[in-house]
Amino acid sequence: MKDSVRSLLQKVAFVAVLLAAWEIAARAHVFGPRSEIIFPTLEAVGAAFVKNFAKGYAGVTLWVYLANSMKLLLAGMGIGIGMAFLCSGLSMVSRTFHNLYSLLVAVADLLPGVALLPVVIIIFGVKPGVIVFLVVHSVVWPMSRNLIDGFRAVPRLYVEAGMNIGLSRAGLLFGIYIPAAMSYILSGLKVGWARAWRGLISAEMIFGIASAPGIGLFINQMRTNMNNAEMYATLVVIIIIGLIVQYGILNPIEKHTVGKWGMRKS
Amino acid sequence: MKKMLAMLLAALLLLACASAASAEDAARLTIAYQYGLAYAPLVVAQTEKFIEQAYDGALEIEWVQMSSGADINTGVMSGSVDVGFMGVGPAITGISKNVSYKIFTNLSGQEHGLMTNDESLRTYDDIIDSYSQIALVNIGSIQHIILAKSLADNGFDPHALDASLVAMKHPDGMSALLAGSVPLHLTTSPYIYRERETEGLHEIEALREAWPKENSFIVGVAAIALYDENRPLYDALCAGIADAIDYVNGHVEATAALTSQYDGNSVEDEAAWLRLGNYDTATGGVEAMARFMYENAFIEADPGSYADLVFDNVRGD
Amino acid sequence: MTALLKIENLSKVYDDDSREHAVIDNLSLEVEQGEFLCILGPSGCGKTTLLRCIAGFERCRGRILVDGREIAGPGTDRIMVFQDFNQLFPWLTVERNIQYALKCQGVRDRRKLADIAADVLAKVKMSGFEKHYPYQLSGGMKQRVAIAKALALKPAIILMDEPFAALDAITRNTLQQEVLAISRQEKCTIIFITHNIQEGIVLGTRLMLMQHGGRVAMDLRNPIPRPVSPSSPGYGALWDRMHAALYATQEV
């Protein structure tokens, strides 16, 4: 059997076992007399999944929430990745900048975004920009860490070969450092994406703007209204999007870059 | 290695025996509550052991602090929480969802206020016309419903301001209001008292009347199973909470001394705020609130009449 | 006629923690157009440092002039072929490795790029490997592509730092013959570092021996007419002489 088929089968079997365990637990009412509300069956979650997209909550479907979240997420990731490239690039040029920036990365990466929320609201005001800021915060530090590590690990040989063929400083960054650090960049993207997605939802759960409602607010509303099946169905949506990004975007990028180049980090 | 395992096993066995022994002769009750001055009688009941005293026999109470009514609802449904204290909104939501509990007592009523830092905002017309954002604790929370009710009382669409809401915790909302990040903040005690004392802020008067402090704000719910199966314990619970409420009303300074340890405010402030609150076992406006929530789509199922909402020993409306 | 490469009073000092350590000490050297200079010497004698100074990778004292102009850093008039097989960019195909270097020089015409790449790859006998990625090539093949890349840029001087040292003996011999043929065909100027006497005698039109401290111990024109093989008259004598000199330098 081919390895990829085998690996896929294993994953499918694993998910099937988990779902079966869920269903058995739901049907056995293991969580008390009102178990069906807090621990709904797969059928109920499936129906809620359809309902979320078809009907939604208070006349607003989950699509709207999802679109809002995605807009903020993309803006935040774009800014975060851009900033990480800029600052990591600068810290390859200036020793002083590198020293200060490494300290900033080490400190800022420890701060949970939602703990910064009150300060961010005071600075930015009550705007969707607050969520964007928190997404940037969750992306920029792990991404920078990976980029700096990746740039530092670029063999001197590539840099000299690049200088030899007449590359300028900018040429070296785009022509040598970035492709040579690609495996680090990709792992930075993976970590950054996961943190951004999680950070977005947790920020939206405690800071919800009704005029630009996001998926985190939807979860919170479902929770407040005790619509647990709808809440679980929304978590399924979150997982599906995560898988799409992982298997539909990040893995193909990896395959077509470091995979094709024989540069995969072992 | 074997020795350590044996010791561990022995310790576990001992623990199991000990807990089994204590479970045998003592009744147990798990009470979930939330943080804040509106829950002051519970701090008293806990430290003065009012419920234990009202119960004829050994009683072990586990007090659990949770962060939202939704969490407490989940706890009651899973059977791990017997008694919970929460806003009247989530309690009605829970009853309409068949969480198999009912209200067994009122706990407190508090003032609500809608404060603004914008001179030009005086009436709902001003707010609706200017699309000004309103910070409150959660969309679908009791504060949101009070706003909707106030809008309806004043002849507006109850959902007219839904798109202007921003969900933020009370203290975050207050700092956002003070910093000018948000023009309006709908909040309750003690934040509302602080904001009223702050220069440069004024109150939107229309909201004050919507849900006065004589109405229920925080209520206690108890599992129907407790009422049906262990009436003496249920009665002790009701009596203990009633005693605690009496104590708060009769010994404001002593209560303030107790609660200020948890809140970090001065005893004088706490005492003043306690006097501004309304601590009473009788409910107020619960049925009206339930009807309003049902009629304005805050809940999907009809919660029924007052008798469906509360146990038969509860007074009020 | 002035020399293509002129080095005047070159010194290179490495700063160890405690003391300064001269790798090259006041070295002067001239290389004529078309010369194939092989530099031999014991490990640590500064021959690689000398090459890196010429390439512009190292800061040093003294002057280095190419075609009468003083160099200021790396440039495409001096292309380096490193010892390390991994000098090709792994994210580019063989063809693109060569074309990328040309593009950096402003060659934009796609047909021209393709023609040059095909031409130089044919010279190193690597036709047919255009679309391969470097990780799919053997060490010897990678070195051929590196040489092709150098040829494509038409530099004034090709600098080779023991390019075949890590290859097996058979591959090394083949590559030596090819480099020799190319150097005669293209009439290019090559400075070639090796610690292998045979390689030096076979390839070099001029042989230079360096000793510790970066001084020139011996500098002579290769008297044996090309093509040189171990059976060429005078090969044995030259080998013995170089060998003795090399050992003499090592005893310092």
**CATH number, domain at B203?**
3.40.190.10
Which pLDDT score is estimated for B124? 94
Cβ atoms within 10 Å of B236's Cβ, excluding its own = 22
Looking up residue A161, the CATH number of its domain turns out to be 1.10.3720.10
ipTM of the prediction greater than 0.95, yes or no: no
Q: B83 and B226 share a domain? A: yes
Domain count for chain A: 1
Which of B208, B225, B242 marks a domain boundary?
Answer: B208
Average pLDDT over residues C228-243: 89
How far does B3 lie from chain A, in Å, by closest CA? 37
Q: B258 and B220 share a domain? A: yes
Residue B89 belongs to some domain of the structure: yes
DSSP string for residues in A207-244: SEETTS--HHHHHHHHHHTT-HHHHHHHHHHHHHHHHI
Q: Could you identify the residue written with the tokens 């003592």?
A: B26
C residues 140..169 contacting A (CB < 8 A): 153
pLDDT at B19 over 60: no
Average pLDDT over residues C83-87: 91
C residues 24..83 contacting A (CB < 8 A): 55-57, 73-76, 78-80, 82
Nearest residue to A141 (alpha-carbon basis) of A186, A109, A176, A101: A109
Domain count for chain B: 2
Average pLDDT over residues A34-42: 83
Residue A13 belongs to some domain of the structure: no
Share of chain B above pLDDT 90, in %: 73
Which pLDDT score is estimated for B10? 60
Q: How confident is the model at residue C246 (pLDDT cuts 50, 70, 90)?
A: confident
Cβ neighbours of C100 in A, within 8 Å: 165, 175
Q: B68 and B119 share a domain? A: no
Residue B74 belongs to some domain of the structure: yes
Q: B169 and B253 share a domain? A: no
Cβ atoms within 10 Å of A174's Cβ, excluding its own = 12
Which pLDDT score is estimated for C162? 92
Residue among B97, B159, B175 whose CB faces A226 most closely: B97
CA A49 to chain centre: 22
* Model confidence pLDDT, tens digit, residues B216-238: 999 999 999 999 999 999 999 99
Which pLDDT score is estimated for C212? 82
Tell me which residue range forms the domain holding B153. 112-208
How far does C235 lie from chain A, in Å, by closest CA? 36
DSSP string for residues in C54-103: HHT-S--EEEEEETTEE--S--TTEEEE-SSGGGS-TTS-HHHHHHHHHH
**Looking at chain C, which residues constitute the CATH 3.40.50.300 domain(s)?**
5-77+155-250
Share of chain A above pLDDT 70, in %: 98
Which pLDDT score is estimated for C161? 93
Which of B208, B231, B261 marks a domain boundary?
Answer: B208
CA C109, C115, C121, C126 dihedral sign is positive
* Model confidence pLDDT, tens digit, residues C116-143: 999 999 999 999 999 999 999 999 999 9
Which pLDDT score is estimated for B79? 84
Q: B197 and B162 share a domain? A: yes
Which pLDDT score is estimated for A176? 93
Which pLDDT score is estimated for C105? 87
Residue among C89, C133, C153 whose CB faces A260 most closely: C133
Which pLDDT score is estimated for A114? 83
Enumerate residues 6+ apart whose C-beta is below 8 A from A19: A42
Q: Which chains touch A (3 or more CB pairs under 8 A)?
A: B, C
What angle (nearest 5°) sits at the alpha carbon of residue A247, between those of residues A264 and A259?
A: 20
**Which of A31, A218, A226 to mutate to test binding with chain B, by most B CBs within 10 Å of its CB?**
A226
Average pLDDT over residues A99-111: 93
Q: B247 and B116 share a domain? A: no
Residue B16 belongs to some domain of the structure: no
CA A56, A60, A63, A67 dihedral sign is negative
* Model confidence pLDDT, tens digit, residues A129-164: 889 999 999 999 999 999 999 999 999 999 999 999
Q: B60 and B94 share a domain? A: yes
Q: B135 and B201 share a domain? A: yes
Q: How confident is the model at residue B54 (pLDDT cuts 50, 70, 90)?
A: very high
Q: B31 and B147 share a domain? A: no
Share of chain A above pLDDT 90, in %: 66
Which pLDDT score is estimated for B4? 58
Q: B203 and B247 share a domain? A: no
Which of B190, B208, B226 marks a domain boundary?
Answer: B208
Question: CA-to-CA distance for B251 and B260, rounded, in angstroms?
Answer: 14
Which pLDDT score is estimated for A58? 75
- Tell me the pLDDT of chain C averaged across its residues: 89
Q: How confident is the model at residue A220 (pLDDT cuts 50, 70, 90)?
A: confident
Enumerate residues 6+ apart whose C-beta is below 8 A from C82: A157, A160, A161, C146, C161, C163
Residue A22 belongs to some domain of the structure: no
Which pLDDT score is estimated for B26? 84
Element counts in chain A: helices (H) and strands (E) = 15, 1
- Tell me the pLDDT of chain A averaged across its residues: 90
Nearest residue to A239 (alpha-carbon basis) of A229, A250, A247, A228: A247
- C5-77+155-250: CATH topology: Rossmann fold (3.40.50)
Q: B224 and B169 share a domain? A: no
Which pLDDT score is estimated for A29? 84
Tell me which residue range forms the domain holding A151. 44-261
